[in-house]
Amino acid sequence: MKYKLPDSVTDSTFYRCTVKVGTGDDIATDTAMIYAEKIELKYWDDGRSYAEYDYYLAGDTFTFLFFGANVFKIVSGGGDDSMCIIAGVTSEPVGADSKATVTLPDGSRVIGDGSTSCIVWFDTNGSNGKDADDVRVTFTVTDLDGKKIAEVCSVGQFYDKENDECAACIDNEYRPTAFSQFIGCKNCPAGEQPNSDNSNCAACDEGQFSYATTVCEECPIGTKSTVDKTKCEPCPPGEYQDEAGQSDCKACETYQYTKPGAADCITCIGTVEPSKDSCAPCGPNQFFETATHQ
């Protein structure tokens, strides 16, 4: 029979077990001492956080380590070995150090149902090898149930849990290797956009701008990009820009003026106001000389 030891039992212990058989005057009893050894199992992977995202990563090496009172040694090697099975993948046999490791297959999206179980043989007669007297214990590692093996996504990709596959970040997002593929991609800050493989961010070119949710775009005619490339601003009075994608505006001639955001200058038939955004007519007894613009 199977019996789960309570958490209060931290080491090996003995139980007195009395069995009654029969009824009435024909009842027979027998008492025996039962030895119970509490098995502790520790497990970890090689540096990746499987517990947080409910996935293993292809290529990870997972290690199981058994602890007990060592009254009964774990039988290692040979035949139907002590081992652990994770997501349908069998570990190497448990060694003399009570460890078993399994490297999860590379390039596989989903293998098995994600359950994890271990088979452990205990040497009950000191034979240092498995024989008919040894005890075979099989148990499920419930903490690891329901997890799957996910393929390792390239930079610029994230793991699409709905379809169990890697998917590319959209145009205005990126994912570096340091950023978990299970979280997804993130936006570049304003003034930047993802580089060619969506693995990092790069500043917009001169004359371009971007918001935190867009890729870089050219500033339109009549504007120039700001120094931080987070927006375009209109050319000020007295300046213009007749080309898109520029970081500076062009100056008008002294006899010309513009309104903010102009694509070209306007020739003044009179005197340009100091504000450079309007033109004043000639005064009394004056006329405008076209040749000299005065």
pLDDT tens for 187-233 read 999 999 999 999 999 999 999 999 988 999 999 999 999 999 999 99
What mean pLDDT comes out for the span 233-250?
96
Q: What integer pLDDT is reported at residue 141 of this predicted model?
A: 78
Query: Regarding predicted confidence, which is higher, 132 or 39?
Result: 39
Is residue 119 within 8 A of residue 136, CB to CB? The reply is yes
What tens digit of pLDDT does each residue of 4-37 get?
Answer: 556 665 555 555 666 677 777 777 777 765 656 6
Q: Residue 131: pLDDT band by 50, 70, 90 thresholds?
A: low
Contacts of 8 (CB under 8 A, 6+ apart): none
For residue 122, pLDDT beyond 50:
yes
CB atoms within 10 A of CB 65: 15
**If you search the block for the tokens 């504000």, which residue do you land on?**
275
Residue 237 half-sphere exposure toward CB, CA atoms < 13 A: 11
The C-alpha atoms of residue 12 and residue 70 are separated, in whole angstroms, by 9
Average pLDDT, the chain: 79
Q: Residue 84: pLDDT band by 50, 70, 90 thresholds?
A: confident
Q: What integer pLDDT is reported at residue 277 of this predicted model?
A: 86
For residue 171, pLDDT beyond 50:
yes
Contacts of 33 (CB under 8 A, 6+ apart): 14, 15, 16, 17
For residue 291, pLDDT beyond 60:
no
The C-alpha atoms of residue 40 and residue 114 are separated, in whole angstroms, by 21
- The pairing of beta strand 148-150 with beta strand 55-57: parallel
What mean pLDDT comes out for the span 255-279?
86
Q: What integer pLDDT is reported at residue 127 of this predicted model?
A: 64
Q: What integer pLDDT is reported at residue 70 of this predicted model?
A: 54
Is residue 135 within 8 A of residue 121, CB to CB? The reply is yes
Q: Name residue 63's beta-bridge partners.
A: 44, 101
Is residue 187 within 8 A of residue 172, CB to CB? The reply is yes
Which of these, 115, 179, 144, 159, lies nearest to 45 by C-alpha position?
144
pTM of the full structure: 0.62
For residue 124, pLDDT beyond 50:
yes
Both tokens assigned to 165: 């596959």
For residue 177, pLDDT beyond 60:
yes
For residue 80, pLDDT beyond 80:
no
Q: What integer pLDDT is reported at residue 1 of this predicted model?
A: 45
Contacts of 81 (CB under 8 A, 6+ apart): 75, 93, 94, 119, 121
Query: Regarding predicted confidence, which is higher, 190 or 255?
Result: 190
Which of these, 235, 246, 263, lies nearest to 205 by C-alpha position?
246
What mean pLDDT comes out for the span 85-114?
74
SS3 51: helix
